[in-house]
Structure 1
């Protein structure tokens, strides 16, 4: 009679609930990544841009008692932000301009510093999430438990969602809360109650397709460096392609007169050129289109629908690829 039985035995104790199993994977991944000092430094740097929208909201709320500051804010909105109608509204009816100005500042926070921080952050942590498991065969340990491929994918994705929420959603909510506290009275909540919901929706627009794409790249190779290159190449090539194609189209439409349009893209838009047809080539500009619509600053629904379809297609296709790759490994 053998002393040690090394065969498989049924688990007699209580199992973890199905909806908690992805959380266990996510918690383990977050704790391992959080130990890296460079990541904490990146998170701290990612929070620095919160100062800009916070100062903008503070200046706007304070400008109700300072006409000179009000005119200064209107000039900034009119020229750098290219929103003359909003600038006029700030001077004539600040109460009516509050919602749009807050949305514009928070969207700018989403679009510029935090989107670039997102690309860097995901490029540093996502490539190893699945490729490392494939290289070390750690996935065999995961699936020796009662774990489905969907739960595994959800747990790995939640690792990225946590860090993205730390640099995007939480700071944006803090900016909104700061705006409420700086307002003259709490009646401002009734005017801007929907902005937190829009922040959550814009965060979902940012997190779901980007995470799906990054994890899909990680699942395609056991070498994380290939996934890292593919991730950064996707954003860089898409951005460059959009800039080159739109600039070339604008120059051709203006008759080749580049000197008369050195003022930037704002002057090119006066030529009534359809820049949206090239937008879908760039993930950066596609996300910006949908997020602008979420915040209510872009009302052209006909041009938003293709961008939404592209993001949905990327998400569904990426998760299908991940699932197929995992099932293929388990079938060997």
Structure 2
């Protein structure tokens, strides 16, 4: 009879519910990343852009009684937001324009400051989630317990979902609450009750495919710097490719040797701007999020973008799961 039995033995500890096991992995990951002071600082700074849509909500809600604020919000809708029809509706029927104004401002918050913050945040955190475990063989400690590869992947992904909810979802809910408090009475809730649900859907569109792709990059290498490079390259090259190909095609469609100037110059061209959209993760996400908030009603052009995001999520999950199973099979 051997003195030391080194064989596999059944787990004798307390078992957590199956649905809660990914939370154990996520909890340890969240506690580790929040120890970094620069990350806590970044999470606080990511809330600063909320000032701009909050001012837009303030200007809109008081524009019915303040002519100066009405001119500000009308100029904002016709200019930076590029919605002249909405500007006219604000003047003609203030209450009827409320839902679209709130949705537009919250979408702008998702699309511009928070999307760039998401790219930076994931690029700095996600590449280390799995590559570090593979390099140090820390994954053996995870799987010495009754944990499946899928639960491990969900737990690692939940670390990023938590951070993204802190910089995108929670501020968006705060914007909605601010709009309700600034309104003349709480009856506006009946007009905008669906916006919180749209915020959750837009957050899922933002979080799930991006986190899946970043975790897949992390699982393909034991050096996190390679995953970081792949992540930022994907976004930068996709954005540049879309801009270059769209501009070149628009110039050819306009029959001029120079690109159009200003927004009206681009709008006067009969050109399909969705032709190269799927090459850019930034523009693909924007297309689906615009549809989620009800601002893009062209479902036919949204479907390919949704299909791409679903495919990226499924393929990334399959890649990560296969990499983990291959390590466990050695």
Q: TM-score, normalised by structure 2?
A: 0.97
In the other structure, the counterpart of 1:109 is 109
* Match status 1:289 vs 2:287: yes
What is the CA distance between 1:218 and its match in structure 2?
Answer: 0.2
In the other structure, the counterpart of 2:93 is 93
CA distance in 2, matches of 1:217, 1:328: 16
Does the Cα contact within 8 Å between 2:11 and 2:146 map onto a contact in 1? no
Structure 1 residue runs of 4 or more that deviate by more than 6 Å after TM superposition:
1-4
Give unpaired runs (5+ residues) of structure 2: none
CA distance in 1, matches of 2:76, 2:141: 57
**1:158-307 map, 5 Å:** 158-258=158-258, 261-264=260-263, 266-307=264-305
Aligned CA RMSD, in angstroms, stands at 1.4
Give unpaired runs (5+ residues) of structure 1: none
In the other structure, the counterpart of 1:323 is 321
CA distance in 2, matches of 1:317, 1:151: 17
User: Which stretch shows the higher mean deviation, 81-90 or 22-31?
Assistant: 81-90
In the other structure, the counterpart of 1:131 is 131
What is the CA distance between 1:269 and its match in structure 2?
Answer: 2.7
What is the CA distance between 1:78 and its match in structure 2?
Answer: 1.3
What is the CA distance between 1:257 and its match in structure 2?
Answer: 4.1
User: How far does the alpha carbon of each residue in 1:230-277 deviate from its partner, in whole angstroms, 9 at most, with x for none?
Assistant: 000000000000000011111112222427x2225x421321200101
In the other structure, the counterpart of 2:23 is 23
CA distance in 2, matches of 1:194, 1:231: 33
**1:31-110 map, 5 Å:** 31-110=31-110
In the other structure, the counterpart of 2:308 is 310
2:95 match: secondary structure: helix
1:277 match: secondary structure: coil
Does the Cα contact within 8 Å between 1:71 and 1:91 map onto a contact in 2? no
CA distance in 1, matches of 2:159, 2:301: 32
CA distance in 2, matches of 1:215, 1:176: 31
User: Which stretch shows the higher mean deviation, 172-181 or 6-15?
Assistant: 6-15
User: Which stretch shows the higher mean deviation, 228-237 or 56-65?
Assistant: 56-65
CA distance in 2, matches of 1:73, 1:82: 12
1:186 match: secondary structure: coil
- Structure 1 residues 58 and 12, CA gap change in structure 2 (3 angstroms): same
CA distance in 2, matches of 1:178, 1:72: 19
CA distance in 1, matches of 2:237, 2:322: 27
CA distance in 2, matches of 1:74, 1:86: 8
Q: TM-score, normalised by structure 1?
A: 0.96
User: Which stretch shows the higher mean deviation, 315-324 or 247-256?
Assistant: 247-256
